[in-house]
Structures are given as structure tokens and as C-alpha cells.
Amino acid sequence: MAVINWLLDAGPTVFLPLLLFIFGLALRIKPGKAFKAALMVGIGFTGLNLIIGLLTDNLGPAAQAMVKNFGLSLNSIDVGWPAASAISYGTTLGSLAIPIGVALNVILLVIGLTKTLDVDLWNYWHIAFSGSLVYAATNNFGLGLFTMIVHAMWIYFLADLAAPTIQKHYGLEGISFPQGASAPGFVLALPINWVLDRIPGVKNIHWTPETIQKKLGVFGDSAVMGLIIGIVIGALAQYDLTKILNLGITTSAVLILMPRMVAILMEGLSPISEAANTMVQKKFPGRNLYIGMDSALAVGQEAVLSASLILVPVSLLIAVILPGNRVLPFGDLATIPFMLAVMAAVFGGNVFRIVVGGIIDLAVSLYLASWIAPLLTSAAKSAHFAMNGATSISVLSDGGAWTTLLIVGMGKLMSWTGMAIVFVIVLGLMIWLNKFKKSDESVSE
């Protein structure tokens, strides 16, 4: 447990490269090559975190200013995924998420019920999140542990299901996204895409960063678009001219720098991914292995970032006009690209559809986050999380995922029986996907 706590304190930029280095050695990659690969992954994640931090530090105050200017009053604050992860891992139950997730992943790989080897250990906080909420609702420690197992199975299933579409769209060969806030978007995007394909006129709207740039000239360039979007957000926040221009330059920088950090990260992942697939082919001929990584690998795509920046002010508008919503989007405004990353692959990078899908996703997420607020507030108090005067907190990303509604809802309403039903459903889906469905078939095609 001491080792796990040390890893959690070190954060993903330290223990993920360390884990990948050890994993690389186990795959018989030369020590020098394994070290360099792991180091590049660490550098890539550090760069991504810096850019995301830059976006958060600038968007957060702008969002607060917009809320103040328009006189919004919503009684539950969105504390964002960093706080949610701290709350999740801060409970006794949550501290067991990593060993449970790793052990389950190994078992499912051996028996052939998943193709995803999840090396993104930090993101096991997503299953700690659901387990802690069920424990807060039922005060049943054993049920909380079972909840984490069931949630992890859902994440592996969704990662496997979406992997062919993700790999094809983003060019990330051998990668899947077992990320609790991103993976559920795949299932949500499929019916939205199906409906949009059948609406006359709308089905022919296809905006990509390339077509936008072609039609708008210099104003369609990603750097210029980032500048314009930042200026608009700054104006809505009623900043002075200097702060407006600073926010514009910052959002422009994010659009340019994010893809370059992803490229550095992928430079490190490539040799490890290739070696892992070579090993699997030797040990299990005919089986494909996906390296499970954070969806940060996809958020740098121009279409994802452009749509996400458009949705920042839109999310605040939705929060105000949505009847019954109690949550004020704030901490997870910079997490919107992660929520959209897998959905964008289903939409083929069509910015118009990503925005439409994002609006629907945000509306659903706000309702679910409102429902989850009392449970998360209770879990936060159990983890001795500093509420800083807030009486109710929620989180837009994980709190708004449909998997959270399914898993936590069934656990809360029906206890062991409800969780057993969800377990049987996901087990059946995993058997279907990995034993009966053709491995080269993509759901989105």
C-alpha cells in the first residue's frame, strides 16, 4: 500500500514512465531504448499537463467572470476531475482501485475477454470514483469493491469496442482509450451520428479544420481560430483589452502546442506498443493487443480542440437554460476535449457534428452531475476534502457519464442485485465482442 500511495503522490508524469520502462524491459526491449521511450512519454505528458494547466488557469477565471456578469446562481459547483480524483483516491475503498484494476485486467487478458492492456494506471481513479459513490450511498464496503470491478469491466469493453474507430481516425495503431470520462462517449455518439445522417441538408454539413480554413482563408487557420475564440470568451467575461488579447493568444497557443506534445508522447509509446504486439503474437497467435492509454493522445486534434473551445461558453448557456439543472460548469471546462475525444472519432472529425454531439452530451452530463452531487459531497467529506465553503459539489466529466448513472444508480437502488445485473450485462457484452464478433470489424463503419 505504501508503494501505491507513493505512486499516487508522484502523479502520472512520474509513475507512468517508470511503469513503461519496467514494461519495456519485460518485453525484452534494450534498456537504453526502453529508457528513452519511457522518458519521451514522461516529457509528452508533462507538456500536455502544462498546456492543459495553461488552458485551465485562463479559462477558469474567464468562466467565473461570465457567471458573475450574467448573474448566474447554481448551487452545486463543478470541482473538476483533479478534485474528483483526489476525493476518489482519498477514501480507503478508493486506494484499492489500482490493485483491483490491474489484477482484473490481467485476468481478462489471459482468458481473452479484453484486448486492452491498460498501462494508464492513474486513470483507475474513475473506478475509485464509482466505488466511493456506491459506498457513500449504501455504506457497504464489499459492494463498493464489486462496483469497481464492474466499472472496470465496462471501461475495458468500451475501450475494445471503440479501438478500431479510434485507431482509424487518429492513426493511433494498437492504442485504445480505457478512460472513464471518454470511453462512454462512443456509445452516445453512435445514435447521434445515425440521426444526423438521416436529416436532409444537415447530413451534408461537413466542417473540418481543413475545409474551414479553405473557406475562411486565414480566419480558418487553427491558430487564428484559437485567437478569435479566446477573444470572444474574453469579451463575454468583460475583460479589458489587454486580458482579452492575452486569453486569445493563450487559446491560440493551446491549439498549436497540444498536437506537438501528443506527437512527442507517441514517439515514446511506439516502440513499447510494437514490442507488446510482437509478444502477444508469439504467445497468443492471432490475437491483437491494444495498449490502453489516456485519451490525452486525441485531444490535440484540431477538430476536437476547436469544437471544445466553442463549447466552453455554450456549456454555461446550457447550464442556465436547462430546467432542473443545479450544477455550474467550472472545473471541468478544460476537460471538455477529453469528453469529446472518442465521440469525435465516430463523427469523423466533423466539427459541426462534434459541436452538436457535445451540446447533447453536456446537457445530459449536467442532469447526471446534478443527480450525483449529494453522493459526491458525502464522499468528499469522508475523504476529508477541503470544501472551501461549498455546501454541494459535483463533477461534470465522470459525474455526467452514462456509465456512472447505470452503475451507481443500480447499486444505490438495488444494492447487490442491481450490481449483479450490470455485471451479467457487461460480461455478456465482453463475451460477444471478444469471442463472436469479427476482430477487424468497426462498429462505426
How many other C-beta atoms are found inside a 10 Å radius of the C-beta of residue 305?
27
First-last CA distance in the chain:
44
Contact 154, 414 (CB under 8 A): no
d(CA 261, CA 253): 12
**Rg from Cα positions in the chain:** 21
How many other C-beta atoms are found inside a 10 Å radius of the C-beta of residue 200?
6
For 227-275, how does the pLDDT look when each residue is reduced to its tens digit (9 = 90+)? 887 888 888 888 999 999 999 898 888 778 877 887 787 788 778 777 8
- Grid cell listed for 293: 492509454
d(CA 308, CA 351): 10
d(CA 158, CA 70): 39
d(CA 279, CA 282): 5
How many other C-beta atoms are found inside a 10 Å radius of the C-beta of residue 229?
22
Determine the pLDDT at residue 444: 41
Decide if pLDDT at 23 tops 80: no
For 124-155, how does the pLDDT look when each residue is reduced to its tens digit (9 = 90+)? 889 999 999 999 899 999 999 999 999 999 99
d(CA 379, CA 86): 11
d(CA 201, CA 147): 44
Q: Which residues of 391-423 are buried (b: 16+ CB within 10 A; e: fewer)?
A: ebbbbbbbbbbbbbbbbbbbbbeeeeebbeebb
Amino acid (1-letter code) at residue 12: P
- Grid cell listed for 144: 463498493
Contact 19, 272 (CB under 8 A): no
pLDDT band at 416 (very low <50, low <70, confident <90, very high): very high
Note the helical H segments in 217-301: 222-236, 241-283
- Grid cell listed for 64: 467565473
For 170-225, how does the pLDDT look when each residue is reduced to its tens digit (9 = 90+)? 998 889 999 999 999 999 999 999 999 999 999 999 988 777 766 666 666 768 87
Mean pLDDT of 6-11: 63
Q: Could you identify the residue written with the cell 519496467?
A: 22
Q: Which residue has the higher pLDDT, 199 or 294?
A: 199
Q: Which residue has the higher pLDDT, 58 or 166?
A: 166
d(CA 270, CA 344): 23
- Grid cell listed for 208: 473540418
